[in-house]
Amino acid sequence: MENIKIGLAGNPNVGKTTLFNYLTGMRQHVGNWPGKTVEKAEGHLNYKGDKVEVIDLPGNYALTAHSIEEIISRDFIVDESSDVIVNVVDASNLERNLYLTTQMMELGANLIIALNMNKFAKNKEHNINSKELSKLLGIPVIEIEAIDGTGVDSLLDEIKKVSSNSIDSSKKLVYGKELTLHLTESYDDDGKELLEIPEKHNSIIQAIEKDKNLLDVPATWTAIKLLENDKIVTEKVKASPEFRNIFKELDSLEKHLKDVFGEDPEEIIANYRYAFIDGLIKESVDKPDFEKPTTSDKIDKYVTNRLLGIPIFIAIMWLTFQITFTVAEPFQGLIEEGFTVLGDFLLSTLGENIVSSFLVDGIIGGVGGVLVFLPVIFLMFLMISILEDSGYLARAAFVMDKVMHKAVGLHGKAFIPMILGFGCGVPAVMATRTMEHERDRLLTMLIVPFMSCTARIPVYALFVAAFFTANQGNIVLSIYLLGIAVAIIVAAILKKAFFKGITSPFVMELPTYKVPSVKGVLIHTWEKGYGFIRKAGTIILLLSILVWALGSLPAGVDYGTQESYLGQIGTVAAPVFAPLGFGDWQPAVALIVGIGAKEVVVSTFSSLFEVSEEGEGISNALKTLFTPLTAYAFMAFVLLYVPCFAFVGTIKSETNSWKWPGVLVLVTFVTAYVVSFLIYQGGLLLGLA
Ligand SMILES: Nc1nc2c(ncn2[C@@H]2O[C@H](COP(=O)(O)OP(=O)(O)OP(=O)(O)O)[C@@H](O)[C@H]2O)c(=O)[nH]1
Ligand SMILES: [Mg+2]
């Protein structure tokens, strides 16, 4: 029994994780937009008596040192003792995909190409001769269909073959006479001198070859990376005793290339890569001279249209909320009734004492108060999963990108994280890893929390049911749009004040539309929904118990009254919120505990009111504290202030300092305060009180 370690590498959104899941039977996140996988995942399978370890890598277009996920993939190929790299390639975008392939070939990786999405290539009338392609590249090319496992057995057979008989994939790579002369290594694999290279021509290679420590990667690769100004490789070479000589040769080669081509070395290398790919495609792919617009192109003519894009985006969100709130309502009522019956039963059997108060006020009031919104949350996740898997979510990001790039100058790659922020801010922050510039990345992290995450939905659901019964969906839509508008404004201000500088343009790739599979959508919905249930059983439960304890102490007070510790804390904090329209102690307490997790705003209210308003329901209790205007200001505050502990913690771990979490807390709190203030005071002026 052998142990074979393989890595799945390739462009974003080509089906690496789909193949990984098929191979390992695991359930890593798959979705129809680029940049889902940001960390590598590991799994394994047994195939014909061998153990195959599989590593799913984040997608990338290049192997430069520009962003974290590129470095992860590169380090994997360079450092880890993998046996085979399976390059998953989208057959319908062969040209672009092969650009990464050439860079892995520069590394001499032991490569196999898994040609995926062949159906989409056929739809475009691209006929790929994979045998020819394989011959030209000097590496095996296997056609697969990752989604149903077609061809996966042949792929595994090939992996087994190649793992014990490795291929030097750099062999067939040619970069024109000029570069080839300068970048060819002096010795071949067997240590035989390659005599045909004229003397002095490959002197940079010879200089690199003098330091054995630099030879864990091909010397040619190091030279290319030096020419490309790669930060990490440059640092590594600087540490070499040979560095003076190497940089001297680099300088003279750079000058030479500039003289000959009149371009930067980086461009020259890219041009050569494309020329190589161009040749490959001409030889091995038969495609029509004029590409017919695909169905995706036809849909995109409207969906990403300059004028229609935003109205369509808003219309889809509107529909999402209408469906969510209308369908969820009856189910919500059922769960509510269930908890009421359970509470009454506990009270009648246990009588009024500390135990029944703990169970009824603390647990049922707290956790139950949030679980009531399970149907809304699940429906919302269902809708998001459908939008995500169909490919629309990437379009939404694209449409927002156009607006924000013009208005704010924010980097295009910021939009996937922002759209993800509608689900949960934590993965959204992780997704900022694809951004090259630290400044863009930090700015994006600071505005992601304004995208309304699902944890806030219970708060909206509670308030719209009480104050805006007839327009629930519309009001929630307006809150979401408010979040987007605030994100744009805050980004513009921060950018002007602290994050000056030009942002590099970025062309966002739009995945092909797909009819989402029922199974895929249900799996996604469940994965997200399960996260909510787990949260109810952990942080929400803990904070509910804390609220209950503070509401019951000091000994002898009536639960949840102003005399309790909870009431005292709220009374001290309440004046801060008075200018925003909600100056009572209960909202103040709810907001304070809600810093832990937004759902706890709801659990706190339900825990406080379930008893004091016996049977009247929490809606009626809220009506004594809020008017529709102050309720709206309160929802806006919940939308905009510090998202939750988990978010702050993620910022801490992603930036490795306490500075940015501090900035985040400040920015979100100030923004929430200012916006709620404007809503309330503006509403008063308009006579909406
Ligand atoms: N029709 C079809 N769709 C596929 C196939 N393989 C993957 N997909 C779909 O393509 C999309 C992207 O798949 P992923 O596996 O998440 O892609 P990835 O390469 O891991 O993407 P990143 O993690 O972003 O780099 C998903 O919507 C998949 O369902 C395939 O063989 N046929
Ligand atoms: Mg993936």
Longest distance between any two alpha carbons in the chain, whole Å: 97
Which atom of ligand 1 lies closest to the CA of 150? 31
User: 35 CA to middle of ligand 2, Å?
Assistant: 7
Q: 114 CB under 6 A from ligand 1? A: no
User: 79 CA to middle of ligand 1, Å?
Assistant: 27
User: 139 CA to middle of ligand 2, Å?
Assistant: 23
Confidence of residue 502 (pLDDT cuts 50, 70, 90): low
d(CA 280, CA 547) in angstroms, rounded, equals 67
Q: Which residues contact 69 (CB under 8 A, 6 or more apart)?
A: 35, 38, 58, 59, 60, 433, 434
For the whole model, what pTM was predicted?
Answer: 0.72
pLDDT tens profile 290-337 = 877 778 888 888 888 888 888 998 899 889 888 888 888 888 888 888
Q: How much helix, strand and coil, in percent to the nearest 5, is found in the chain?
A: 65, 5, 30
Instruction: Give the model's pLDDT for residue 124.
Output: 83
Instruction: Give the model's pLDDT for residue 201.
Output: 67
> Does pLDDT of 98 surpass 90?
yes
Q: 44 CB under 6 A from ligand 1? A: no
Instruction: Give the model's pLDDT for residue 507.
Output: 59
Structural domains of the chain sorted by starting position, each given as residue range(s) with its CATH number in brackets: 3-164 (3.40.50.300), 176-261 (no CATH), 309-499+528-685 (no CATH)
d(CA 473, CA 619) in angstroms, rounded, equals 18
User: 441 CA to middle of ligand 1, Å?
Assistant: 26
Q: 606 CB under 6 A from ligand 1? A: no
Q: Which residues contact 250 (CB under 8 A, 6 or more apart)?
A: 204, 223, 226, 227
Answer whether the bond into residue 554 is a cis peptide, omega within 30°.
yes
Binding residue positions: 10-17, 21, 24-25, 35-39, 56-59
**SS3 at position 111:** strand
d(CA 266, CA 268) in angstroms, rounded, equals 5
Amino acid symbol at 604: T
Which atom of ligand 1 lies closest to the CA of 120? 1
User: 519 CA to middle of ligand 1, Å?
Assistant: 15
Q: What ipTM was assigned to the predicted interfaces of this complex?
A: 0.97
Q: 36 CB under 6 A from ligand 1? A: yes
Which atom of ligand 1 lies closest to the CA of 20? 15
pLDDT tens profile 60-82 = 888 877 777 788 888 888 776 78
pLDDT tens profile 199-238 = 556 788 888 988 888 888 888 899 999 998 888 899 999 9
Helices 243-261 and 265-284 pack at an angle, to 10 degrees, of 70
pLDDT tens profile 243-263 = 999 999 899 888 888 887 778
Q: 13 CB under 6 A from ligand 1? A: yes
Binding residue positions for Mg(2+): 21, 24-25
Tokens found for residue 574: 């309440």
User: 30 CA to middle of ligand 1, Å?
Assistant: 6
- Beta bridge pairs of residue 144: none
Q: 118 CB under 6 A from ligand 1? A: no
Which atom of ligand 1 lies closest to the CA of 19? 15
